[in-house]
Chains A and B, each alone.
Chain A
Amino acid sequence: MGEGLSQNANGSLIQTAYFPRRDGSRIPYEIYTSPAIYRLEQERIFHGPVWSFVALEAELPRPFDYKSTFVGDTPVVVTRAEDGQFAAWVNRCAHRGAIVCRHARGNARTHICVYHQWSYDPRGNLRGVPFRNGVNRRAGMPADFDPVHNGLEKLRLETYGQLIFATFSDAAPPLYDYLGPQMRPGLERLARKPMAYLGCVRQYARANWKLYSENVRDPYHASLLHAFFSTFNLIRAGMRFDSVGSDDGLHTWLRYFHTEDTSGGAAYKSAQVSSFKEGLRLEDTSVLEPSREFADGMSPHIQSIFPQAVVTQIQNSLAIRQILPKGPDHFELIFHFFGYEDDPPDLRMKRIKQANLVGPAGLISMEDTLATELVRGGTAGGINPCGIVDMGLEASREDADRSDVSESHIRDFWRGYQKLMGL
Chain B
Amino acid sequence: MDAVLAEMLLWFELYRLQENYIDVIDSDRLEAWPELFTADGVYEILPKENVDLGLEIGIMHCFGRPMMRDRIVSLRKANLYEPHTYRHLTSGLTYTRLDSDTIAMQSNYVVVQTLTDGESRLYQAGRYYDRVIRTDEGWRYQHKRAVYDTSRVQTLLVTPV
Q: Chain A interface (Cβ within 8 Å of chain B)?
A: 104-105, 197-206, 225, 227-228, 231, 275, 277, 280, 282-284, 287, 332, 337, 352-353, 355-356, 359-363, 366-367, 369-370, 373
The reply to whether A367 and B155 form a contact with Cβ atoms under 8 Å apart is: no
- Per-position 1/0 for B28-64, Cβ under 8 A of A: 0000000000000000010101100101111111111
Residues in chain A near residue B151, CB distance under 8 A? 202
Q: Which of B52-83 contact A (CB under 8 A)?
A: 53, 55-64, 66-67, 69-71, 73-74, 77-82
Distance of B122 from chain A, by nearest CB (Å): 13
State how many angstroms separate the Cβ of B121 from the closest Cβ of chain A. 11
- Report whether A201 and B156 are in contact in the complex, using a CB–CB cutoff of 8 Å: no
Q: Are A200 and B50 in contact (CB under 8 A)?
A: yes
CA A227 – CA B67 in complex, angstroms?
18
> Do residues A277 and B77 form an inter-chain contact, with CB atoms below 8 A?
yes
List the interface of chain B (C-beta within 8 A of A).
45, 47, 49-50, 53, 55-64, 66-67, 69-71, 73-74, 77-82, 151-158
Among A277, A356, A367, the most chain B Cβ lie within 10 Å of the Cβ of: A356
What distance in Å separates the Cβ of B111 from its nearest Cβ neighbour in chain A?
Answer: 13
Decide: A363 near B74, CB < 8 A? Known: A105-B53, A202-B151, A204-B155. yes
A287 touching B70 in the complex, CB below 8 Å, given contacts A104-B49, A367-B79: yes
User: In the complex, are the beta carbons of A282 and B70 less than 8 A apart?
Assistant: yes
Contact A284 B66 (CB under 8 A): yes
A104 to chain B: which residues have CB within 8 Å?
49
7 A-B residue pairs with CB within 8 Å: A199-B58, A204-B155, A225-B80, A284-B70, A361-B59, A362-B59, A370-B82
CB closest residue in chain B, given A205: B155
Known A280-B73, A355-B61; contact A369-B55, beta-carbon cutoff 8 A? no
Report B37 CB to chain A, min CB distance, Å: 14
**Distance (Å) between the CB of A205 and the closest chain B CB?**
6
Choose among B53, B57, B77 the residue that contacts A280 (Cβ–Cβ < 8 A). B77
Q: How far is the CA of A176 from the CA of B97 in the complex (A)?
A: 58
Chain B: minimal CB distance from A207 (Å): 9
In the complex, chain A residues whose CB is within 8 Å of the CB of B49: 104, 199-200
The main secondary structure of chain A at its interface with chain B is: mixed
Across the A-B interface, the 7 shortest Cβ-Cβ residue pairs = A199-B57, A199-B55, A283-B66, A360-B153, A199-B50, A227-B78, A204-B152
Q: Are B78 and A231 in contact (CB under 8 A)?
A: yes
Contacts of A275 in B (CB 8 A): 78, 80
User: Given A355-B57, A356-B61, does the pair A363, B157 have CB atoms closer than 8 Å?
Assistant: no
Residue of A nearest to B47 (CB): A201
Closest chain A CB from B157 CB (angstroms): 4
Residues of A contacting B78 in the complex (Cβ-Cβ under 8 angstroms)? 227-228, 231, 275, 277, 280, 363
Chain A contacts of B69 at CB under 8 A? Answer: 283
A128 to B79, CA, bound (A): 55
Chain A residues near B74 (CB-CB < 8 A): 228, 280, 363
Pick from A204, A206, A277, A356: contact of B60, CB below 8 A: A356
Given contacts A203-B152, A227-B78, A280-B74, list 20 more A-B pairs with CB under 8 A.
Answer: A198-B56, A199-B50, A199-B53, A199-B56, A200-B50, A201-B58, A204-B152, A228-B74, A282-B73, A284-B67, A352-B57, A355-B61, A356-B67, A360-B156, A363-B71, A363-B78, A366-B157, A369-B155, A369-B156, A373-B155
> Cα distance A287–B53 when bound, in Å?
25
Selected contact of B79 from candidates A201, A227, A337, CB within 8 Å: A227
Flag if A197 contacts B80 (CB, 8 Å).
no
B66: chain A residues at CB < 8 Å are 283-284
Measured CB to CB, the nearest residue on chain A to B154 is A204
Contact of A370 among B47, B64, B80, B153 (CB under 8 A): B80
> How long is the Cα–Cα vector from A201 to B156 in the complex, in angstroms?
11
A-chain residues with CB within 8 Å of residue B81 when the two chains form the complex: 366-367, 370
> In whole angstroms, how far apart are the Cα atoms of A284 and B64 in the complex?
9
Measured in the bound complex, the distance between the Cα atoms of B74 and A282 in whole Å is: 9
| Bound CA–CA A104/B82 (angstroms) | 31
Contacts of B56 in A (CB 8 A): 198-199, 352
Q: Is there contact, CB below 8 Å, between B59 and A360? A: yes
What separation, in Å, do the CA atoms of A361 and B45 have in the docked complex?
A: 10
Please give, as numbers and ranges, the residues of chain A lying within 8 Å of B64 by CB-CB distance: 284
Q: Let me know if B73 and A361 touch, CB within 8 A.
A: no
